[in-house]
Chain A
Amino acid sequence: MIMADIQQVSFERIKHKKKMATEDLIFTILNTTFLVLFAVVTLYPVLNTLAYSFNEGNDAVRGGIYFLPRKWSWRNYEEILFERPGIRVGAKITVLRTIIGTLTSLAANALLSYILSRKKFLFKSGMSLFWIITMYASGGMIPVLILFRYLHLTSSFWVYVIPGMVSAFNVMVMRTYMLGIPDSLEEAAQLEGAGYMRVFVSIITPLCKPVYATIALFVAVYHWNSWFDAMLYNRFDPQYTTLQYELMKLLDSVSATTGATSGAAMTAATANTITPITVRAAASIATMAPIIALYPFLQRYFVTGLTIGGVKE
């Protein structure tokens, strides 16, 4: 009797295990399919844009281009490189602001984070509060615009660099990281006669390379991708245009021909031998290229960076 019971139970167990194994297999298949589909949906538009950028303009209007161009042409890239001065100026300004903006912002954020992470600093809590408030309360678009006009920051390159230099959010991420560095290092250096600045440059900075890299990456991507400040502050100054703002103008000209159309825009576009859609594709690829090229090298930094500051604040 008892033996039969035990047999019955173990039989049930095996059945349960078998059921679980099939469930597991089905789940794995479905999950893999879903994730592959996700990757395809993510990558396809980029590849499609690449195909358009190498396609001949008039031919592209017919549509039906997927992964490969139908009629090869370098014409679109020639156009953006040589025939559109706006894009060239934009590229120059964007590269400049990315380099200058990232370096100044990194230095400014790092120094403030250093001060806020000194446990002995006399005005630590007041200073922290002063900057935390800036994360939540902002004056808004128009007071800022008026202020920049008073300060003569509009119609200038420096509007891209100076106002956004210190960001409380980035400071909080860096500060969290610096708080994790043992005090004993700082104390030892101070015993040797190092002042606060010396400790910052020679002790803290070398130890903070990962978080510096992360913040630099965030700031650089922000500068590379921004267009709104160019539109708001330097609309009438084509010498300070940015790459993305030029791209936005191309986007506007394409939507005018494909969406709800005004007749004038239509004829203006068809009179051109190169349809904007392929030129825009080429410009998109050109602006994406540096990010995608650097992506494999940089990605380990932002994952660690996000988890340092993001979760455990």
Chain B
Amino acid sequence: MEISTSKSKKQKPVDIDKPKLTVKEFKRQWILVVISVIYVIYGIIFYYLPLAGWIIAFQDFKYNKGISGSKWVGFDKFKFLFSDKTFLMVIRNTFCMGALNLIFSTVVAIAFAILLNEVKNKYFKKSIQTISYLPHFLSWIIVVAIVHDALTSTGIINDILMRLHIVQTPFPFLARPEWFWPIVTLSNLWKETGWNAIIYLAAITSIDPCLYESASIDGAGRFQKMLYVTLPGLRPTIMILLLMNIGNVLNAGFELQYLLGNGLVQNVSRTIDIYVLNWALDARNLDYSLGTAAGIFKTVVSMTFIVVSNYIAKKKGDERLF
């Protein structure tokens, strides 16, 4: 059996990537098929059944009545959602914080990678890089605790501001709505810049060194080389990461906002996920259907972002995801 299959392999090496669905081939890889079936069952339960659960958005779902016993209400939940001022506010917050985060984290990570790449001393470079991605491994709980400590009235930021006589009394950063988005963006930068830069640094090392040499011969200085060689060399990487992250813009707002927000800033801090969570946890106003409807909205918008940005990238001839 084994010998005959290996012989047939040798006879037609051209078609090696496309196996034919034959009884013989099926028998040969039955074990792969059996394991795949187990994986498919697992996938259906944990990934596809929740998608089927979207139908409860069209019901007035009560847990103890179940899906079959709950009343169908059509699009009522969606109608409520889009007339709810809180929901519209929450969409704005999610989108704005997600966009701020996407823009700044990309720009800062690229800048950091380019600057780090300019360092000649190997050990200095390695140390800075090692330090830079440490915060990625800390939980958001710890990061929020750190941000909290830094920004309280006795924290380091107010300490510095007061010593420099920029403010006379401690400034309540966390109680001011206009400061919430910048704080969220900066916290994200603190945690993820070093980590995000890893991929860019790897991409920089794969740029052809000849390009730098010929640029030097043409009289390009360091800045010019960074601008006209390194940055264009990073273009494919930047494009593919942007595409991947655009779909995540609406997902990028949960833990940090949930932990850092408080009653004074809730109009700018609450995101779609927090809104959903409130409908799921608040014992007095429990409404699973409404929360599901909000979740559907988020997923559908995210998918649209991915498809549209992918389409644009395809048109412009850039890298794309699919």
Query: A residues bordering B, Cβ < 8 Å?
Result: 16, 20, 23-24, 27-28, 31-32, 34-36, 38-39, 41-46, 48-49, 52, 61-64, 66, 111-112, 115, 118-123, 127, 130-131, 133-134, 136-147, 149, 151, 162-163, 165-166, 187, 190-191, 193, 195-197, 221, 224-228, 232, 235, 244, 247-248, 251, 254-255, 258-260, 277, 280-281, 284, 287-288, 291-292, 295-296, 299, 303, 306-307, 310-311, 313
Contact = CB atoms under 8 A, between A and B. Distances in A.
Contacts of B153: 63, 258
A149 B264 CA distance: 34
A11 B263 CA distance: 69
A151 B44 CA distance: 14
Given A121-B29, A122-B25, A139-B49, 10 more contacts: A23-B221, A23-B223, A28-B118, A46-B134, A46-B146, A120-B29, A137-B51, A139-B52, A141-B273, A142-B56
Given A35-B115, A166-B43, A140 B295 contact: yes
Nearest to B147: A45
B314 interface: no
Given A115-B36, A146-B63, A284 B31 contact: no
Tell me if A's interface is mostly helix, strand, loop or mixed: helix
Contact of B221 (A20, A137, A138): A20
Contacts of A146: 53, 56, 61, 63, 288
Contacts, number: 260
A134 B138 contact: no
**Size range of the interface on B?**
35 or more
A299 B130 contact: yes
Interface stretch (B85-93, B96-104, B275-283): B275-283
Interface of B: 2, 6, 9, 16-17, 19, 21, 25-26, 29, 31-33, 35-36, 39-40, 42-43, 45-54, 56, 61, 63, 112, 115-116, 118-120, 124, 127-128, 130-135, 137-142, 144-146, 148-150, 152-156, 159, 174-175, 190, 194, 198-199, 202-203, 219, 221-223, 237, 240, 247, 255, 259, 262-264, 273, 276-277, 279-281, 288, 291-292, 295-296, 298-299, 302-303, 306
A143 B263 contact: no
B152 to A, nearest CB: 5
Contact of A166 (B36, B39, B222, B296): B39
Given A31-B118, A137-B51, A260-B262, A197 B112 contact: no
A287 B43 contact: no
A140 B112 contact: no
Contacts of B247: 136
A41 B189 CA distance: 11
A122 B53 contact: no
Given A42-B135, A48-B156, A119-B16, A284 B53 contact: no
